[in-house]
Amino acid sequence: MKKLIFSIVLMFTAINIGFAQADTEGCKDHALLSRMPGYYILECTQNYNQLDFYDSKGQEIKLEGNLTYTWYLFNLESGKPEPSFFQIIKNYANAIIKIGGRKIYEDNGLGCYALNKNGKDYNIKVSCTNSSDILLYVLEMEAMKQEITANEMLDALNKDGFISLNILFETGKSTIKSESLPVIDQVYQLMNLDKTLKISIEGHTDNVGDAASNKKLSTDRAKSVMDALTAKGIDKTRVSSIGWGQEKPVADNRTEEGRAKNRRVEIIKKN
């Protein structure tokens, strides 16, 4: 009887391990790149987002576009030898160069590459914190399409009291990027839909860099949005601005996706 119970336990353990080491439902390899042998997909996302990238001098820059993120984890029961950092980066570099890409920057456990394929520009980052996991980012360069309208903003403000906007700025500056000007236009229209509406524009950052610099950057960026609205004719008594820096995260700063969510501008309805 004890042997039977032990066998059943082993069977369920094996089943659980099998499920844990299968690709997460809905996840698959990017069309441009296959995976290293012995790895399975633990997590994946696909959305319009920012990517922390590195230029040829190793300086961090921020790019935006349609980002596909894939987290590969090594299957210890695959029977395959676990590769080294060098082997992982070299394999991806060779694969990317083979389809027409070029190296931008490489360091231990990190590779950044550029690729033009079928008329589209891609920036690809491969990162490994250890050889057991691989983080693959494929960014298809594209300007953000304005999807939320003034009416939807007003509905959200009346319902929730705030809205979060993805307004893009020049790296390390408070200059609003041209592709985000349609968002400003929608906020302007929002203010004209309800002439009694008063708002607070609140800037937020991720935790990259020091807290004081982030506080100043978020303050300057929130003020830039306010100034853009008043320049269009919105009365200064109806709008104020404040920067919170990294003090009020809404997601995990330990992940790229979390940091992107924390870099935001919120519009708060004032009573």
Residue-by-residue pLDDT tens, the chain, 271 positions: 444 433 433 333 333 333 447 899 999 999 999 999 999 999 999 988 889 999 998 998 888 888 999 999 999 888 888 998 899 999 999 999 999 999 999 998 899 999 998 888 999 999 987 878 999 999 998 755 556 788 889 898 999 999 998 888 888 889 998 888 889 999 999 999 999 999 999 999 999 889 999 999 999 999 999 999 999 999 999 999 999 999 999 999 888 788 888 999 999 999 8
C-beta of residue 18 within 8 angstroms of C-beta of residue 77 = no
Which CATH number covers residue 240?
3.30.1330.60
- In angstroms, the CA 190 to CA 176 distance is 19
pTM, whole model, 2 decimals?
A: 0.53
Element (H, E) at 242: strand 239-243
Q: Which domain holds residue 29?
A: 23-141
Question: Would residue 16 count as lying in a domain?
Answer: no
Q: What does the block give as tokens for 5?
A: 């119970």
Q: What does the block give as tokens for 84?
A: 């080294």
Residues 160 and 194 in one domain: yes
Question: Would residue 15 count as lying in a domain?
Answer: no
Q: In 128-155, which positions are buried (b, 16+ CB within 10 angstroms) versus exposed (e)? A: beebebbbbbbbbeeebeeebebeebbe
Residues 129 and 165 in one domain: no
Residues 225 and 173 in one domain: yes
